[in-house]
Amino acid sequence: MPGVAGPLRAGVSAAAPERPDTRPHAAAEATRGVGATCGAALWLVVCALASAMLLSSAPSALYPLYQQRWQMSSVALTGAFTAYGIAVLVTLLGCAPLADRLRDRRWFIVPGLAMVAGGALALAFGDAPVWLFAGRALAGLGAGVLTGSCNAALFELLPREAHGRAAALATLSLTCGGALGPILAGIALRFDLWPLLTPYLVVALIALGTAAGLYAVHWPARVPVAHSTTQRSRRLGESIRHPDFITASATLMFSWAIASVIQALGPLIASDYAGIASRSAAGLTVTGFQLAAGLAQLTLRGRAPDRLALRGAILLGVALAAAVLATWAVWPLLYAGALVVAGASYGAAFVGAAGLVNRAAPPDKRGAMVSLFYLLGYVGNAIPVLAIGVGADAFGMRAAMTTFACAMLGAAALLYRYTVYGALGRAR
Domain boundaries along the sequence of the chain: 42-427
Residue 393's CB is within 10 A of a number of other CB atoms, namely 15
The predicted pLDDT at position 105 comes to 82
What whole-number distance in Å separates Cα of residue 143 and Cα of residue 135?
A: 12
Find the helix packing angle between 243-272 and 305-329, rounded to 10°: 20
**12 backbone dihedrals φ, ψ, rounded to 5°:** -120, 125
Query: Would you call 57 exposed, middle or buried from its count of C-beta atoms within 10 A (0-12, 13-18, 19+)?
Result: buried
Decide if 286 contacts 342 (C-beta within 8 A): no
The predicted pLDDT at position 289 comes to 92
What whole-number distance in Å separates Cα of residue 13 and Cα of residue 6?
A: 12
Decide if 357 contacts 302 (C-beta within 8 A): no
Q: How far is CA 225 from CA 39, 85, 170, in A?
A: 24, 30, 23
What whole-number distance in Å separates Cα of residue 173 and Cα of residue 181?
A: 12
Name which of 260, 327, 318, 329 is nearest 289 in CA terms.
260
pLDDT in tens, the chain (428 residues): 443 333 333 333 333 333 344 333 333 333 333 344 477 888 999 999 999 999 998 998 898 889 889 999 889 999 999 999 889 888 877 775 665 666 778 888 999 999 999 999 999 999 999 999 999 999 999 998 898 788 888 888 887 767 677 777 887 788 788 888 888 988 898 888 999 999 999 999 999 999 999 988 888 766 555 544 444 555 555 556 677 888 899 999 999 999 999 988 998 999 899 999 887 788 888 888 988 988 898 888 778 888 999 999 999 999 999 999 999 999 999 999 999 999 999 999 998 998 888 887 776 666 677 778 877 888 888 889 999 999 999 999 999 999 999 999 999 999 998 887 765 445 44
Q: Which CATH number fits domain 42-427: 3.40.190.10, 1.20.1250.20, 3.30.70.360, 1.10.1040.50?
A: 1.20.1250.20
Q: What is the pTM of this model?
A: 0.77
What whole-number distance in Å separates Cα of residue 327 and Cα of residue 334?
A: 9
Decide if 113 contacts 11 (C-beta within 8 A): no
The predicted pLDDT at position 117 comes to 98
The predicted pLDDT at position 107 comes to 84
